[in-house]
Amino acid sequence: MVFGRKKKKEADQGAAVVGGDAPLPALEIKPIGINKDEATGLIIACKQLPGYPIALVLIANAISGRADRILIDYSAQGAVVRYRLDGMWETLPAMDRASADAALVVYKKILGLNPAERRARQDGKFATNFKDIDWVVSFTSMGVPSGERVLFSIDRKKPLLKTLGDLGMRDGMQEQFKAMMNGHEGLIIISAPATHGLPTTWRIALENADKFVRDWVSIENKKDADPEIINVTQYFYEDGTADTPEAVFEKVRLKQPDVFVLPSLINGDIVESVLNQINTEHKHAVTRVVANDAFDAVIQVLSAYPNHAKSLIKVMQGVLNQRLIRRLCDNCKQPYQPTPQLLQKLGIPAGRVPKLYNPTVPPPPEQRVDAKGNPVEFEICKRCNGRGYLGRMAIFELLTIDDTMRQAIAKLASKPDELRKFAKSRNHLSFQEEGILACALGVTSLQEIQRLMSGK
Ligand SMILES: [Zn+2]
C-alpha cells in the first residue's frame, strides 16, 4: 500500500508502487464519453500494457486512502506523486520515471488521448467501481516548464453529502438560510474562496430548497454547465450562436418561473433583467461568486456591476460564505480543559465550555525512541492513520441583509473593514466566531481555526 503511514521501513525508502506479484486491485477503469465498442477495445488493449497494474494501483490507493485528487509531476529526475486528503497534500515515496511514464500511457490510451503528446493540454473522464462504490475520475495532463503535470479529480458518482447539516452547518443557521433561499423578491449570494467547496455547497443549497411549489430555472453557459439538479430546469446560452444570454433569458422569462438560478450574473443586461423580474414580478434569484467572506462577496458583485449597484443593494437579502476545515478524528481526539484566560480570549463565557480538543499527532518515526535511542512502540490511530483529523466540514458565515445593513453597504461598500465592524456591532458572527463555536462543539480544534483564519 502506498498511501497511509506504514511503520515498515521500506515504505519510507521509496518502495515501488506495485510489488512483483502483488494481485491487481479489484477495479477497472472505463472511459466516459466514448462509444461503447470503442471503449471496450481501448480497455482490452490497455490491459496488455506494462503500465496497467501501476495505473490501477495509483487510483485504488487514492480511493482507499480517501484522497480526492492525485497530482503527478513528471520531470527529468523522476515523477513525484501527491495525494490530496481533506484538503492537505501528501507526497508519496518517489516513483521511478519509467513506471510513472508507463502508467501515464495507460491513462491516455484508455481515454482515447495521445500518449506521445506531453505538452498540450488533454482531458478525459473515466468511471470506476471500487469496493461497491461508483466513482468518476477526471483526468487532465499538460506541459509545464519542468515537464508534465497530471491531475486526477476523484468524485463519488452519487454524492455522499446531501444536506446542509452534512456540510457542518449548525441547526439554527440552517433554518435561517433555508428561509432566505425560500424567500421572495430578493437576491441571495452563495460564496466561498477558491478550493473551498463552493460547487458542493451550491448543489446542496439548491437541492434542499423548496422546489415543489415553486419553479426553479437556471441559466448557464453551455461550455461550463453545472451538473443537473433535480427540479431545477437548466437553460443554456452558447457563445457564437443565436442562443445569446439575452435571448435565453427572454425565453425563460416567458415561462414565468419563480426563482432564477444564475451561476454567473453574466452581464449588465442580464443583471438589469433580473432586477426587473425581482422588482416588478416578485421573483427570487440566487447567484454565486468566489469570495473570501460574505462582505467580499457583496463588494465583488457590486463592483462588477457599478451601474446597477444601488438596485442590487436594494434586492440583496443574504450572503452565505464558507471555508473548509478538517474535522477532528473522534477516535483519538484529546480533551483538555481550557484556562479561564483562553476562554476569555476566545470570547466564551466562563463555565460554558468545559472541554476543548486537540488532535493526536504521533511524533515522526525517527523521534519514536526513548532516552537511550531505543525504538518505542507508538500506537497509531487506525481510523485516521495518525493524522488526528478525519474528513472535512465547512465553517459558514451567513450575512442577513436587512434595511439597516443595506444602508451600511451603500455607505461603506468601498470600506469592507468598516462594514465588517458595523455588522459585528449588530451581532453578525464572523468566521472566527463560528469557528470557535465549532471548537466548543468538539468537532474541530483551535489550531484548525487558526489555520483557517490565516488563510493557509
Ligand atoms: Zn484518529
In this prediction, residue 375 carries a pLDDT of 83
Looking at the chain, the whole-number percentage of residues with pLDDT higher than 70 is: 95
Q: In the prediction, which pLDDT does 5 show? A: 44
- Residues 322-358 pLDDT 10s: 999 999 999 999 999 999 999 998 888 888 888 999 9
pLDDT of residue 378: 80
For residue 198, the CA-to-ligand 1 centroid distance in Å is: 27
Is residue 406 scored above 80 in pLDDT? yes
User: How far is the centre of ligand 1, averaged over its atoms, from the C-alpha of 443 (Å)?
Assistant: 13
Least confident of 84-93, 113-122, 349-358: 349-358
User: According to the model, what pLDDT value does residue 49 have?
Assistant: 96
Ligand 1 centroid, distance to 34 Cα (angstroms): 42
**The pLDDT value given to residue 16:** 42
Q: For 13-17, 31-35, 384-388, which range has the lowest pLDDT when averaged over its residues?
A: 13-17
C-alpha 161 – ligand 1 centre gap (Å): 21
Q: How far is the CA of 386 from the centre of ligand 1 (A)?
A: 6
The three three-digit cell numbers of residue 5, written as one number: 503511514
- The pLDDT confidence band at residue 71, using thresholds 50, 70 and 90, is very high
CATH no. of 9-156: 3.30.450.90
CB atoms within 10 A of CB 337: 10
Question: What is the spatial distance between Cα 323 and Cα 302, in angstroms, rounded to a whole number?
Answer: 22
CA–centroid distance, residue 335 to ligand 1 (Å): 13
Q: Which of 282-286, 360-364, 399-403, 447-451 has the lowest mean pLDDT?
A: 360-364
What are 165-205's pLDDT values in tens digits? 999 999 999 999 999 999 889 999 999 999 899 999 999 99
* pLDDT reading at 2 higher than 50: no
CATH class name, domain 184-319+400-420 = alpha beta
SS3 sequence of the chain? CCCCCCCCHHHHCCCCCCCCCCCCCCCCCEECCCCHHHHHHHHHHHHCCCCHHHHHHHHHHHHHCCCCEEEEEEECCEEEEEEEECCEEEECCCECHHHHHHHHHHHHHHCCCCCCCCCCCEEEEEEEEECCEEEEEEEEEEEECCEEEEEEEEEECCCCCCCHHHHCCCHHHHHHHHHHHCCCCCEEEEEECCCCCHHHHHHHHHHCCCCCCCCEEEEEEHHHCCCCCCCEEEEEECCCCCCCHHHHHHHHHHCCCCEEEECCCCCHHHHHHHHHHHHHHCCEEEEEEECCCHHHHHHHHHHHCHHHHHHHHHHEEEEEEEEEEEEECCCCCEEECCCHHHHHHHCCCCCCCCCEEECCCCCCHHHCECCCCCECCCCCCCCCCCCCEEEEEEEEEEEECCHHHHHHHHHHCCCHHHHHHHHHHCCCCCHHHHHHHHHHCCCCCHHHHHHHHCCC
Measure 334 CA to ligand 1 centroid, in angstroms: 10
CA–centroid distance, residue 11 to ligand 1 (Å):
21
Asked if pLDDT for residue 21 goes beyond 80, the answer is: no
Choice among 8-22, 27-41, 125-139, 248-262 with the minimum mean pLDDT = 8-22
Q: Which of 8-12, 234-238, 244-248 has the lowest mean pLDDT?
A: 8-12
Task: Name the packing angle between helices 245-254 and 268-281 (round to 10°).
Answer: 20
Tell me the pLDDT tens digit for each residue of 309-330: 999 999 999 999 999 999 999 9
Q: Which residues surround ligand 1, an ion (CB under 5 A)?
A: 329, 331-332, 381, 383-384
Comparison of pLDDT for 35 and 273, the residue scoring more: 273
Residue 56 has pLDDT above 60, yes or no: yes
Predicted model pTM: 0.82
Residue 20, pLDDT score: 53
Q: Is the pLDDT of residue 131 over 50?
A: yes
Domain with CATH 3.30.450.90 in the chain: 9-156
* Backbone angles phi and psi of 249, in degrees to 5: -60, -40
How far away, in angstroms, is 360 Cα from ligand 1 center? 7
pLDDT in the model for residue 14: 36
pLDDT of residue 371: 82
- Which of 14-23, 228-237, 444-453 comes out lowest in average pLDDT? 14-23
Residue 33: its pLDDT value, please?
86
Give the span between the Cα atoms of 351 and 434, in whole angstroms.
Answer: 19
State residue 284's pLDDT score: 97
Q: Where in the chain is the domain with CATH 3.40.50.300?
A: 184-319+400-420
